[in-house]
């Protein structure tokens, strides 16, 4: 069985993430969305809230599973039985950071492959940070986030 890991904070998950996940799910038997528990970040949504949103979005998709982890990504990949890590690239600005991380992960665990996937062009500018900022300022982006995320953001910031 070919299993891939798609790690990130997903705070919140956007349609750009969904696009990459759905396409990856066609390439692998199982894709595990792995939410990083990062104590240095102050997330808008708890890990549990993010897990529930992602499970709701992919309800019925048996080959997409959701988990959380802390520590080194390559250690978690080995523990979860994944030898492939998927990373999204939106723009050239993402490349330098992701390239450095991929090389370091390869140094730590050369048996784990890193695959870069680009979202469709309509999501190439989209980030969780930007989505949170728009909603916090009274805006809304229901065509750029899945419905469960839109509802959760509206509940966090305001009622429309």
Which positions are annotated as active-site residues? 17, 41, 90, 128
Token pair belonging to 105 = 């992960």
Token pair belonging to 124 = 């190439």
Tell me 122's DSSP state.
G
3-class DSSP state for residue 42?
coil
Q: How far apart are the first and last CA of the chain?
A: 45
**Closest of 99, 135, 131, 113 to residue 14, by C-alpha:** 131
Instruction: Assess contact for 110 and 77: CB atoms under 8 A.
Output: no
Phi and psi, residue 110, nearest 5°: -65, -15
């Amino acid at each position: 069985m070919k299993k891939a890991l798609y790690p990130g904070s997903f705070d919140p998950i956007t349609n750009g993430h969904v696009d990459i996940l759905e396409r990856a799910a066609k390439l692998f038997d199982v894709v595990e969305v792995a939410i990083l528990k990062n104590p240095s970040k102050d997330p808008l949504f708890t890990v549990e809230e993010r897990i529930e949103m992602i499970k709701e979005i992919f309800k019925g998709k048996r080959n997409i599973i959701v988990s959380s982890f802390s520590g080194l990504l390559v250690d978690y990949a080995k523990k979860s039985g994944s030898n492939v890590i998927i990373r999204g690239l939106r723009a050239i600005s993402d490349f330098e950071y992701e390239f450095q991380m991929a090389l370091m992960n390869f140094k730590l665990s050369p048996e784990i492959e890193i695959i870069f996937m680009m979202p469709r062009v309509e999501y190439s500018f989209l980030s969780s940070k930007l989505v949170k900022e728009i909603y916090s300022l009274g805006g809304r982006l229901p065509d750029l986030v899945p419905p469960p995320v839109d509802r959760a953001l509206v509940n966090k910031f305001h009622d429309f």
